[in-house]
Amino acid sequence: PFDAIEKTGDDAAVDLSAYKDVWVFAEQRNGKLMNVALELIGEGRRLAKEISEDTKVCALLVGDGIDHLEQECYEYGAERVVMIQDPLLKNYTTDGYTKVIVDAVEEYKPELVIYGATHIGRDLAPRVAARLNTGLTADCTRLDIKVSSYIEYAKNNTTLDTSTLDPNDPSTGIKQTRPAFGGNLMATIICPKTRPQMSTVRPGVMQKRDRVAGATGERVDYKPQISESDIRIQIKDIVKSAKELVSLTDADIICSGGRGLGDPSGFELIKEFADKVGGVVGSSRAAVDAGWIDHSHQVGQTGTTVKPKIYFACGISGAIQHLAGMQTSDIIVAINKDPDAPIFEVADFGIVGDLYKVIPEIIAEWDNA
Ligand code: FAD
């Protein structure tokens, strides 16, 4: 599974033992935690316990007037919340958030910091990494910390200089996996010598933990040193674009259409289908490239990664780049007139037929179901 390897960070010696705990940037917007933040708290907890029982997962909350989010972080698995609040942090700014996170990281020295690969996470994480002179792996789909498997891997790969690793250091074995070269291979990237190790992780690929009502943890209030002169841009107004209304990552049901729709009007049927079953409309890239639907609906490697309870793929062949964004859905239903279409290989239920006949039948039957 490991086809490529990159090494990040420079050769400056870092005392690895000084770093401890897993931090998750718990991204919030308008006082509401993003789904990916909850997914990453669950993943961070798993990683922390793989490092050692006393390694903690900490949710990093940045903003203003966000005390109410602390409890939710504990309930989804955080053991500690590092709270950074200031009126200047009310809205996200690259400068402001970078400054306070870098300061907090330098003070508390987490071993690993993970962010959602959202617009904000993708903007923030590289800035923080550059300031801290550490590595960053963007857009990960998998994180592993098993020392043993890492060492085994290192031994079998001539491209990795194993002399840089200390097998006795339990913090050495962190592997970050991400698609590379158009999704044709999975690259494994390590930061053997720099800390903290940092990753952005795609929304929808990690599992949220079951919510435990009333769970508690330890709160640390970090008083940020920030002034207006630290922030070079001013937010005058926030205008929500119509595109943002498509929330593929939060949807339980997605009805996606592809080139098999034949023309843009096919999305009217997909929309009717989605409305009937309480879902949202997704699409393949071919449909987006044809100009039939906006890119915000695109599922796949260069679109959104989704994990709904039910994913309907209608007139979609099942190219690897599309599968990369939806194959972990709980149930996949494929409707395609070609019985050999690759989508049927990942489908739990396959319907061979013309979508213009099949979908109206499902719509008609839905109310009776
Ligand atoms: P097609 O492959 O043309 O399939 C259409 C299907 O519809 C066929 O299987 C056909 O049998 C079926 N069909 C036709 N008529 C009917 C009908 N009346 N009823 C039922 N079935 C019918 N693709 C993505 O989707 N998402 C991505 O993020 C993405 N990223 C990419 C990144 C890179 C770097 C590259 C190189 C490609 C990427 N692609 C992506 C494109 C991908 O390779 C495929 O070209 C694309 O997914 C094909 O879309 P499709 O399945 O809709 O079209």
Ligand 1 near 116 CB (within 6 A): no
**pLDDT beyond 60 at 150:** no
- Residue 298 annotated as lining a ligand binding site: yes
**pLDDT beyond 60 at 165:** no
Q: pLDDT over 70 for what percent of the chain?
A: 84
- Residue 285 annotated as lining a ligand binding site: yes
Ligand 1 near 88 CB (within 6 A): no
Atom nearest to 262 CA in ligand 1? 15
pLDDT-based confidence at 366, cuts 50/70/90? confident
CA distance 188 to 199: 12
Ligand 1 near 82 CB (within 6 A): no
* pLDDT of 53: 85
Assess whether the previous peptide bond of 196 is cis (omega < 30° from 0): yes
Ligand 1 center–CA 343 separation, angstroms: 10
Q: What is the pLDDT of residues 209-251, one digit of tens each?
A: 999 999 999 999 999 999 999 999 888 888 776 554 567 888 9
Joined together, the tokens standing for residue 234 give: 């001013």
Ligand 1 center–CA 2 separation, angstroms: 27
* pLDDT of 13: 52
Atom nearest to 183 CA in ligand 1? 34
Q: What is the pLDDT of residues 75-125, one digit of tens each?
A: 999 999 999 999 999 999 999 999 999 999 999 999 899 999 999 999 999
> By mean pLDDT, which of 4-13, 128-137, 257-266 is the weakest?
4-13
Which residue has the CA at smallest separation from atom 39 of ligand 1? 321
pLDDT-based confidence at 195, cuts 50/70/90? confident
Ligand 1 near 284 CB (within 6 A): yes
Residues in the chain: 369
* pLDDT of 50: 81
* pLDDT (average), residues 164-175: 55
Higher pLDDT among residues 62 and 186, named by residue: 62
Q: pLDDT over 90 for what percent of the chain?
A: 64
Ligand 1 center–CA 264 separation, angstroms: 15
- Residue 188 annotated as lining a ligand binding site: no
Which residue has the CA at smallest separation from atom 20 of ligand 1? 336
Q: Are 198 and 134 in contact (CB under 8 A)?
A: yes
Ligand 1 center–CA 153 separation, angstroms: 35
* pLDDT of 27: 97
* pLDDT (average), residues 289-295: 94
Ligand 1 center–CA 297 separation, angstroms: 14
Beta pairing partners, 361: none
* pLDDT of 302: 87
- Residue 52 annotated as lining a ligand binding site: no
Joined together, the tokens standing for residue 195 give: 């800390």
Ligand 1 center–CA 256 separation, angstroms: 11
- Residue 291 annotated as lining a ligand binding site: no
* pLDDT of 149: 44
- Residue 293 annotated as lining a ligand binding site: no
Which residue has the CA at smallest separation from atom 13 of ligand 1? 260
- Residue 301 annotated as lining a ligand binding site: yes
**pLDDT beyond 90 at 340:** yes
Taking Cα atoms as reference points, which of 145, 144, 105 lies closest to residue 124?
Answer: 105
* pLDDT of 190: 74
Ligand 1 center–CA 84 separation, angstroms: 44
Which residue has the CA at smallest separation from atom 33 of ligand 1? 182
Which residue has the CA at smallest separation from atom 27 of ligand 1? 300
